[in-house]
Amino acid sequence: MNNNSLSKILFHIDMDAYFAACEIASRPYLKGKPLVVTNHYRHIVLTASYEARAFGIKTGMPLYRAQQLCKTLKIVFADPDKYISTTGSIHELLLTITDRFEPLSIDEVIMDVTQVSSNYCDAAKLAYKIKFEVKKQIGVTCSIGISPSRSISKYASGVNKPDGLHVISKNNFWNELKNIPASEIAGIGSSTKLLLKSVGVYTCIDLHKCRIEILLKLFGQNAFHLKSLILNDAVKTFYDREAAKSISSSHTLIKDTDNIEILTSFLEFLVWKVSDKLKMEGLTATEVSLSIRYEDFTHSNHSTTLKEPVNSTSMLYNIGKAILSFYLPLKKKVRLLCFRVKCIEPRYKQLTFLNMQKSSRFEVACQKINRKYGNFTVKPAMVMLFEAFGKPEKVIPPVFTDIYGKTYRATR
Amino acid sequence: MNQCITASVTFKKGELIPNWFTYAGEQHKIDRILFRWKKKEGHETIFYFAVEADSTPYSLSFSTRNMSWYIEQEEACEQ
């Protein structure tokens, strides 16, 4: 096999136990202690420190189970602003080296260093420099995988975690592929793994050598994607982001419910978020979908295509409500709602009807207030129902006093 | 806590660097900035600093809304 296609040097930079690392860096007294970061409502382990992982605690585990495994476990509530801000600082640091990197998630980056490193020796030195600077300037550690391919770099970054570095250079690339199970590649899940095994594909080299006709029979058009996984080396620049194909907002409820008023309120909350993003980018959408995850983790999805592109909050909300009615009557409690708009295009049409203009002016005014004073400073009263749902009784503001001093409990 | 405090800062290449702060009647010289992050609330930006002064960790914040410094309340939930 020739090495012509292995011309690039790619870094996959993966932060180690990122949320936990940020918390430890900001609270040094937590260093060396078993720690988990959890959310406020569902009490699921979002990230566990390496000390906690030694007790068998894993991401996604219920908090009570984690506490059973480790009696001295420290628990910290997640602070998304902290993590987003820290990621921004890491990106700024990486931009001083090259702008040829793509953030893959909040704690992962794929970086093309071909232009700044002439060979793998230089690349390894650069990787050590990045690790050193991230630790010194940000206060967290990262693991870096180096190889000529995106997927293999990602695999390599996980080899020596935490604070590790693993290089798969183009000279030993094909040999290494023989030892890497195909299921280790991101994008190959358990079902795909089973299908691949049925045609004798166990390792990455098997996948690379497998004829496309065989994969096409198994996976249809996805076969091309699978086949390209091993040698994909395309990396965009940091500034060259792909235009969004869809915008969605999903949220897990504090507790499962089949109360339609709560779900409608929840839907309005999601619609506001999606509509806000659409307006901020000056976009409209012609396809709307609503997905539901039930208490037993089964899914259902309904969507509708519109004649005219929209971005109005009230119109999207009405469409969302109409889709929600398809699910009624609910047979199971709902765990998660996801509101999504697709077929996105720039807004080109002015609204013509007077009432629409009024509604639009109102929404623009709300948007301006929220920009200035923070998200959901102004919000529909209906959203407050969802916000209060599942929280302790004292948080719900149901009592008010009239001008005669008489108190009322808010009822619907 | 979330108590308003007096602090001395340096602006260096667009970066905000706290040097010392006065808390509980005492001036504390900041030896190290351990971690920093920021949060936006509408037009207001809050800069957070985890610092070490006299070998003791403190959480400070600076709000652009009223240009004030605060000692932040610890949120760690130990069970």
Whether B42 sits inside 8 A of A26 (CB atoms) is no
| pLDDT surpassing 90 at residue A384 | no
Q: Taking CB atoms and an 8 Å cutoff, what residues of chain B touch A76?
A: 75-77
Cα–Cα distance for residue pair B53/A239, rounded to 1 Å: 39
Chain Cα centroid distance, residue B31: 13
B56-76 mean pLDDT: 82
Three-state SS at A50: helix
Judge whether A372 is closer than 8 Å to chain B, CB to CB.
yes
Helix ranges restricted to H, A199-258: 204-209, 212-219, 222-229
Lowest mean pLDDT among A20-34, A68-82, A380-394: A380-394
Q: What pLDDT digit, counting tens, does each position of A300-346 carry?
A: 899 999 888 888 888 899 899 999 988 888 888 998 899 999 887 87
Q: Taking CB atoms and an 8 Å cutoff, what residues of chain B touch A30?
A: 76
A72-99 mean pLDDT: 92
Q: What pLDDT digit, counting tens, does each position of A246-262 carry?
A: 889 988 888 888 888 88
Q: What integer pLDDT is reported at residue A395 of this predicted model?
A: 42
Q: Which residue of A has its CA nearest to B40?
A: A374
Whether B50 sits inside 8 A of A77 (CB atoms) is no
* Confidence class for position B1, pLDDT limits 50, 70, 90: low
Cβ neighbourhood burial of B51 (10 Å; 0-12, 13-18, 19+): buried
Whether B41 sits inside 8 A of A82 (CB atoms) is no
Residue among A28, A74, A374 minimizing CB distance to B57 = A28
**Å between A136 CA and nearest CA of chain B:** 10
Q: What pLDDT digit, counting tens, does each position of A36-48 carry?
A: 998 877 788 999 9
Angle at A21 between CA A15 and CA A26, to 5 degrees: 135
Whether A371 sits inside 8 A of B42 (CB atoms) is yes
Q: Which residue of B has its CA nearest to A90?
A: B37
Q: What is the dihedral angle through the alpha carbons of A54, A59, A62, A64, rounded to the nearest 10 degrees? A: 30
Nearest to A208 by CA among A252, A176, A246: A176
User: Can you name the residues that pair with A284 across neighbouring β-strands?
Assistant: A345
Residue among A22, A81, A371 minimizing CB distance to B39 = A81
Q: Which is more confident, B2 or A323?
A: A323
| pLDDT surpassing 60 at residue A211 | yes
* Confidence class for position B73, pLDDT limits 50, 70, 90: low
| pLDDT surpassing 50 at residue A188 | yes
| pLDDT surpassing 80 at residue A207 | yes
| pLDDT surpassing 60 at residue A76 | yes
**Å between B61 CA and nearest CA of chain A:** 13
Q: What pLDDT digit, counting tens, does each position of A346-356 carry?
A: 766 555 554 45
Residue among A26, A89, A372 minimizing CB distance to B42 = A372
Q: What integer pLDDT is reported at residue A112 of this predicted model?
A: 92
A189-223 burial string, b = 16+ CB within 10 Å, else e?
Answer: eeebbeebeeeebebbbbbbebeeeebeebbeeeb
A228-249 mean pLDDT: 80
Q: What integer pLDDT is reported at residue A411 of this predicted model?
A: 39
Whether A28 sits inside 8 A of B39 (CB atoms) is no
CA atoms within 13 Å, Cβ hemisphere of A353? 3
Q: What integer pLDDT is reported at residue B75 of this predicted model?
A: 42
Hey, what domains does chain A have and what are their CATH numbers?
A: 246-393 (3.30.1490.100)
Q: Which residue of B has its CA nearest to A134?
A: B35
Whether B44 sits inside 8 A of A374 (CB atoms) is yes
Lowest mean pLDDT among A5-9, A51-55, A133-137, A398-402: A398-402
Q: What integer pLDDT is reported at residue A358 of this predicted model?
A: 62
Q: What percent of chain B has pLDDT over 70?
A: 90
Question: ipTM more than 0.90?
Answer: no
**Å between A11 CA and nearest CA of chain B:** 25
Q: What pLDDT digit, counting tens, does each position of A266-275 carry?
A: 898 899 889 8
Residue among B36, B37, B59 minimizing CB distance to A81 = B37
Q: What is the token pair recorded at A390?
A: 């599942």
Whether A81 sits inside 8 A of B44 (CB atoms) is no
Q: What integer pLDDT is reported at residue A69 of this predicted model?
A: 93
Q: Which is more confident, A352 or A124?
A: A124
Whether B34 sits inside 8 A of A28 (CB atoms) is yes
Interface of A with B in 134-173 (CB under 8 A): 138-139
Q: What integer pLDDT is reported at residue A390 of this predicted model?
A: 63
